[in-house]
Amino acid sequence: MLLELVINFSILFTFVIFSYWLYESLEPYQDSFIELQPWIVGLVAGLTGLLLMGTAVHYQNDIISDGRFISILLSGLLGGPIAIALSSLIIGIFRIYVFGLSETSIFAGLNILVIGGVITFISIKKPITFRNIYFYFTYIVFQVCIVFYILSDTWTHGLQNVIQTALFYILSFYITLLVLKSIRNQFNRMRETEKMAETDYLTGLPNNRRFQQIIDDLLSNNVPFSLILIDIDSFKKVNKTYGHPVGDEILQQIGTQLKNYVKTIDAEAARISGEEFYIVCKDAPPAYGIHYANLIQSQIAKTPLVVSSGHVIPITVSIGICSYPDNGNTSKDLAFSADKAIMQAIERGSNQLVHFNQLNN
C-alpha cells in the first residue's frame, strides 16, 4: 500500500510541477491564448486525475484513494472556475463508469461532481489563490473523509481509510504546494531582474534597451508611428544652480508627467540618457506626432516644478520629431532623423519643436 501511495504521489507531483513550470514559462505569451487557458488547464488536470485513479490504492468495498482532488483544486489556481468544473466533470464521470457501475462508484463519482460544483461556485466569488487555497483544501479533505467513512463496510475500516486518506492528502498537498511556491518565487525573481535591466532606476520608465525592443517590435510588425525626442532646456544650468539632487528630482517629475501623458494615448515613454526622453506614438502620422508633442511641451511649460528644497523651477523642453516610415525604415535611421530635428529645435531657442519633415522643406 505504501508503495502504491508513493507512486500515486509521484505521478501527481510530476504532472503538477511540470504543468506549473510550463504555465510560468509561457506567461509572456498567455495573451495569445488567454481564452483557451482555463479549458487547457481543466483538460490537463482531468487527464491527470484519470491517470491517478489508474494507479490508485484500493480499499474495501471498491473504495479507491488517490490525488485526484488535489489535481482538481490546483487546476483552479491556474485556470479558475472553468478549469475546476471541467476537470471535476471528467474525473467524476470516469469514476462512475470505468471501474464498473456500483453503489460505491456512483456515490464516489457524485461526490467528485458535488465537490467540483461547490468549489467552482465559491471560486467565482473568491478566486483561488496561494493565500486562500488552504480553506478549499480543508473543505475537500473534510467531505472526502466523510464519504470514505460512509462507504466503508465497517467502522474500523472506515476509521482506517479516513486516517490514511487524510494523511496522504495533507502530505501530498503541502509538499506539492511548497514546491509550487518555490517555483513561483523563482520566476518572480527572474521577472523582477529582467524588469530592472529594462527600467531606468531614476524615473521608473523603460530605459534605452527596452525602448529599442519596443521600436524593433513596431518595425517588425510594420506599424506606423511617430518618434518624439525630448530634451530638457538648460538642464546643465539647473544642475549647476541647484545641485544634482535637485536635477534628479526634475528628471523624476518630468518622467512622471510623461508616464501619465502616454496613458491618455497609444504611446510609450522612455528615458534614454541624461535629460533626454523618447515617446513613441503608435499609428500616429506626422501631423498627429506634432500634435501630441505640442500638448506635452505645453503641459511641461505651464507646470513649474516644486522640488524638496522649496524652489519652484520653471522647465521647458525642446522637441524633435520623426515618423515611420516617412523618415526612416530602421531604428538607427529614425534615431538619426530625431536627432537632426531636435538639433534644429535647440538652435532656434528654448521651448521649440521641429519635425524632420520641416528640415526637408
pLDDT at 256: 94
DSSP string, 11-68: HHHHHHHHHHHHHHHTGGGGGGGTTTHHHHHHHHHHHHHHHHHHTPEE-GGG-EE-SH
pTM of the model: 0.66
- Domains within the chain, CATH numbers bracketed: 2-196 (1.10.1760), 208-360 (3.30.70.270)
pLDDT at 32: 67
Task: Look at the chain and count its residues.
Answer: 361
pLDDT digits (tens, 9 = 90+) for 67-105: 899 999 999 998 999 999 999 999 999 988 877 788 888
Give the C-alpha distances (Å, rounded to integers) separating 300 from 69, 100, 230, 305, 331: 58, 76, 11, 9, 27
- Give CA–CA dist 296/185, Å, rounded: 39
pLDDT at 280: 96
pLDDT-flagged residues of the chain (< 50): none
- For residue 297 the three cell numbers come to 511641451
pLDDT at 361: 53
Q: What are phi and psi of 76, to 5 degrees?
A: -70, -25
